[in-house]
């Protein structure tokens, strides 16, 4: 009796977990693909809740599978509806996602904004250090974003010089750095997108004394059209760009 009961639960758990896994996979693709750092508090909590429902379906035998499945789908539908409303209405966007809060204006810390954001000065200092800023004197504006990140505009005299400032070359590079060889195999899709040919690639390899594609572990087209190469034989990796 015990063996039969254990076997019944075992296969039921396998089925529940498998269906929950693929359901979450499909729903995640439907909802969208925001990076974790870009998620607002609402989307973060929603993601946790959806995961919790899927977990409940997977491990709790007493939870009827289809009841949990309906809850999972409905929670996803509500999330998509809220996201749609946020896109269509600025008022809804503020209601669900909140709005950015200016913590520093013209170099002055706004106490009221700090209270609203529930931040103390040490937390603000930490957020600035994460931006590579250790002195408040460098900051002209600091904005606390709805996803918890801090956006900073430095004072002009504290900002790094741009290429335009120093009159350096600002020509737009002809290529986006793109992988063209991986583990000895040519990635033809990327070559075609770059409007390059296999013959061109082989010629570039010969110029760098590489006899065959199979010798290459990784190769990337750089912005200026040159080729970065890393060989399988590490002792020969003296090619550079």
pLDDT, position 99: 83
Q: Where are the domains of the chain?
A: 2-94, 101-158, 178-236
Distance, first Cα to last Cα, the chain = 69
Q: Which CATH number fits domain 178-236: 3.40.50.620, 3.40.190.10, 3.30.2350.10, 3.30.240.20?
A: 3.30.240.20
Q: Helix (H, G, I), strand (E, B), or coil: what is residue 140?
A: strand
Task: Kindly give, in sequence order, each residue whose CB lies less than 8 Å from that of residue 178, ignoring residues fewer than 6 positions away.
Answer: 190, 193, 194, 220, 221
Topology match between the domains 101-158 and 178-236: yes
pLDDT, position 35: 46
pLDDT along the chain (241 residues), means of 10: 51 74 71 55 73 76 74 80 79 76 93 92 93 92 88 89 77 87 91 91 90 90 89 68 49
Q: Helix (H, G, I), strand (E, B), or coil: what is residue 201?
A: helix
| Topology classification of domain 101-158 | CRO Repressor (3.30.240)
Rg (CA), the chain: 27
Among 82, 101, 102, 77, CA closest to 93: 82
pLDDT, position 168: 76
d(CA 197, CA 195): 7
pLDDT, position 87: 77
The pTM assigned to this predicted structure is 0.55
pLDDT, position 5: 45
d(CA 124, CA 231): 46
Q: Cβ distance 231 to 216 under 8 Å?
A: yes
Task: Kindly give, in sequence order, each residue whose CB lies less than 8 Å from that of residue 141, ignoring residues fewer than 6 positions away.
Answer: 102, 104, 105, 106, 152, 153
- CB crowding 55-88: b at 16 or more within 10 Å, else e: ebbbeeeeeebeebbebbeebbeebeebbeebee
């Amino acid at each position: 009796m015990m063996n039969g009961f254990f076997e019944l639960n075992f296969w039921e758990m396998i089925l529940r977990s498998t269906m929950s896994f693929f359901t979450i996979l499909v729903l995640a693709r439907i909802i969208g693909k925001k990076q974790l750092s870009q998620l607002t508090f609402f989307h973060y909590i929603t993601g946790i809740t959806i995961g919790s429902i899927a977990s409940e379906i997977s491990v709790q035998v007493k939870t009827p599978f289809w009841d949990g499945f309906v809850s999972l789908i409905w929670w996803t539908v509500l999330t998509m509806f809220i996201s749609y409303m946020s896109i269509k209405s600025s008022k809804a966007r503020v209601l669900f996602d909140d709005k950015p809060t200016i913590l520093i204006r013209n170099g002055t810390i706004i106490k009221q904004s700090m209270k609203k954001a529930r931040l103390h000065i040490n937390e603000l200092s930490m957020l600035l250090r994460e931006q590579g800023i250790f002195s408040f004197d460098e900051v002209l504006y600091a904005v606390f974003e709805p996803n918890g990140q801090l956006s900073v505009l430095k004072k002009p005299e504290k900002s790094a010089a741009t290429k335009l400032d120093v009159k350096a070359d600002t020509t737009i590079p002809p290529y986006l750095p793109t992988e063209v060889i991986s583990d000895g195999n040519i990635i033809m899709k990327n070559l075609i997108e770059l409007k390059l040919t296999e013959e061109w690639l082989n010629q570039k390899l010969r110029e760098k004394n590489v006899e065959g594609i199979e010798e290459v572990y990784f190769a990337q087209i750089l912005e200026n059209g040159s080729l970065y190469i890393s060989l399988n034989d590490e002792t020969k990796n003296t090619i550079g760009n």
